[in-house]
A and B are shown apart, each in its own frame.
Chain A
Amino acid sequence: MGNIKYILGSFGDPDEMMHGIEKLQENNIKIHDVYTPMPIHGIEAKLGVKRSRLDIAAFFFGITGTITMLSFVYYAAAVDWPINIGGKPHFALPDFIPITFELTILFCAFGLVGSYYASSHMFPGRAPRVMDLRATDDRFVIAIDAAQNPEHSKIDNLLKEAGALEIKYNERKYVSYE
Chain B
Amino acid sequence: MSGHKESILREPLITGNDITFAKITDDILSPVENKPNKAWWIGFIVSALGACLWLFAVSYTFWNGIGSWGLNKTVGWAWDITGFVWWVGIGHAGTLISAVLLLFRQNWRNSINRSAEAMTIFAVICAATYVVSHMGRPWLAYWVLPLPNQFGSLWVNFNSPLVWDMFAISTYFSVSLLFWYTGLLPDIATIRDRAVGFRRRIYSVLSFGWTGNVKTWQRFEAVSLILAGIATPLVLSVHTIVSMDFATSVIPGWHTTIFPPYFVAGAIFSGFAMVQTLLLITRKVLGLENYITMFHIESMNKIILVTGSIVGVAYLTEFFIAYYSQVEYEQYTFMTRFTGPYWWAACMMYGCNILMTQLMWFKKVRTNIPLSWVLSIIVNIGMWFERFVIIVISLHRDYLPSSWAMFYPTWVDVAVFVGSIGLFFTLFLLFLRVMPSIAMAEVKLLLKTASEQSKMEQIKEGHVSKEYVAEYVDSLEKFDSVKQEQYAKL
Interface residues of A (CB under 8 A from B): 12, 14-15, 18, 33-44, 47, 49, 52, 54-55, 58, 62, 72-73, 76-77, 80-81, 83, 85-86, 88, 92, 95-96, 98-99, 101-103, 105-106, 108-110, 112-113, 116-117, 119-131, 133-138, 176
18 residue pairs of the A-B complex, CB under 8 angstroms, read: A37-B186, A38-B445, A39-B220, A39-B445, A55-B226, A92-B159, A95-B159, A105-B234, A110-B174, A112-B227, A120-B215, A122-B209, A125-B205, A128-B192, A129-B211, A135-B193, A135-B212, A136-B193
CB distance from A170 to the nearest CB of B (A): 14
B179-200 near A? 1/0 per residue, CB < 8 Å: 1001001100110111000000
The one of A14, A99, A119, A176 in contact with B219, judged by C-beta atoms closer than 8 angstroms, is: A119
B214 with A44: CB separation less than 8 A: yes
The one of B3, B25, B223 in contact with A15, judged by C-beta atoms closer than 8 angstroms, is: B3
Is B164 in the interface zone, CB < 8 Å from A? yes
Decide yes or no: A52 and B227 within 8 Å by CB, A122-B209, A130-B193, A136-B189 being known contacts. Answer: no
The one of B21, B25, B208 in contact with A123, judged by C-beta atoms closer than 8 angstroms, is: B208
- CB contacts (< 8 Å) of A103 on chain B: these are 167, 171
Decide yes or no: A138 and B214 within 8 Å by CB, A18-B1, A52-B219, A125-B205 being known contacts. Answer: no
The 8 A-B pairs with the shortest beta carbon distances in the complex, nearest first, are: A126-B209, A138-B21, A122-B208, A138-B22, A76-B155, A102-B167, A39-B217, A38-B444
- CB contacts (< 8 Å) of A18 on chain B: these are 1, 3
User: From A140, which residue of chain B is reached at the shortest CB distance?
Assistant: B21
- Give A58 to B81 CA distance when docked, in angstroms: 35
- CB contacts (< 8 Å) of B207 on chain A: these are 128
The one of B155, B158, B230 in contact with A96, judged by C-beta atoms closer than 8 angstroms, is: B158
B158 with A73: CB separation less than 8 A: yes
- CB contacts (< 8 Å) of B163 on chain A: these are 99
Interface residues on B, range: 35 or more
Decide yes or no: A113 and B223 within 8 Å by CB, A14-B448, A37-B441 being known contacts. Answer: yes
The one of B2, B215, B226 in contact with A112, judged by C-beta atoms closer than 8 angstroms, is: B226
User: From B2, which residue of chain A is reached at the shortest CB distance?
Assistant: A14
Is B390 in the interface zone, CB < 8 Å from A? no
CB distance from A142 to the nearest CB of B (A): 10
Q: Which of B154, B159, B220, B441 has the most CB of A within 10 A?
A: B159
